[in-house]
Structure 1
């Protein structure tokens, strides 16, 4: 039976395996530790005997963000991603979050379709980014 719960550090290797299987870059431990000091309750794992999906969210007091959603390729199309997003939305709503944003790569048509089916609307914003030196 699928359960969704808050990430625990003992899940890290399993989460890395899901990210790797899904073709996503791994969030290094130090970066994740910094993220978890802010809102650890918004980093969720889905498990069914093992970790099969993960979503990372954050809330800055004004907007919620869905930063990473990944489901193991062998477990896709079983409602896991939708369940993770629904739980994250509930947790953000409990924090008083009025709006959730996310980014989808322009060539990810399947991802864009998934998010639109969940009610997320594309916006004509332009993403700007600047890496900072450590």
Structure 2
């Protein structure tokens, strides 16, 4: 049974390994440092012994919660890790007064869509628009 807790910097390399093994995009240290200035209590890991079994990154802008980069190491899949991570993140967002949680799933990710639907998330035919921004002088963005 894994324990869900807040991310600590000592976890970073093991979190990167989970993201890589699960196919999730990796956040660089600078990106993560900027995110953690806002709501560090919404970046969660599932710890199993010395291992990080899974990870989820949440954000809250005061209006909507977002779930990003949910990943479970293949050696820990089908054990309820993702469900426990999401439940804890939902609980923390609810405690902040968050009225709705959003997330993005690629339309060809059938397993992901089934997982989120099993947790009560509804699929919407929205169109995602994105605009890359230039990095401030002397700083790299991804």
Q: 1:18-51: per-residue Cα shift (whole Å, max 9, x none)?
A: 0111122210000000000000000000011111
- CA distance in 2 between partners of 1:115 and 1:25 (Å): 19
Aligned to 1:28: 28
Pairwise mapping of residues 16-55 of structure 1 onto structure 2 (< 5 A)? 16-49=16-49, 50-55=51-56
| Poorly superposed stretches of 4+, deviation over 6 Å | none
RMSD: 0.6
Q: Is the 8 A contact 2:60 2:93 kept in 1?
A: yes
The TM-score, its normalising length taken from structure 1, stands at 0.98
Q: Specify the SS of the correspondent of 2:46.
A: strand
Aligned to 1:77: 78
Aligned to 2:138: none
Aligned to 1:87: 88
Q: Is the 8 A contact 2:2 2:53 kept in 1?
A: no
Q: 1:42-85: per-residue Cα shift (whole Å, max 9, x none)?
A: 00000111111000000000000001100001110100000000
Q: 1:2-26: per-residue Cα shift (whole Å, max 9, x none)?
A: 1000000000000000011112221
Q: Specify the SS of the correspondent of 2:120.
A: coil
- CA distance in 1 between partners of 2:31 and 2:2 (Å): 28
Aligned to 1:61: 62
Q: Is the 8 A contact 2:39 2:59 kept in 1?
A: yes
Q: Is the 8 A contact 2:56 2:67 kept in 1?
A: yes
Structure 1: 5+ residue runs without aligned partners? none
Q: Is the 8 A contact 2:25 2:69 kept in 1?
A: no
Give the number of equivalent residue pairs.
134
The TM-score, its normalising length taken from structure 2, stands at 0.93
Q: Specify the SS of the correspondent of 1:121.
A: coil
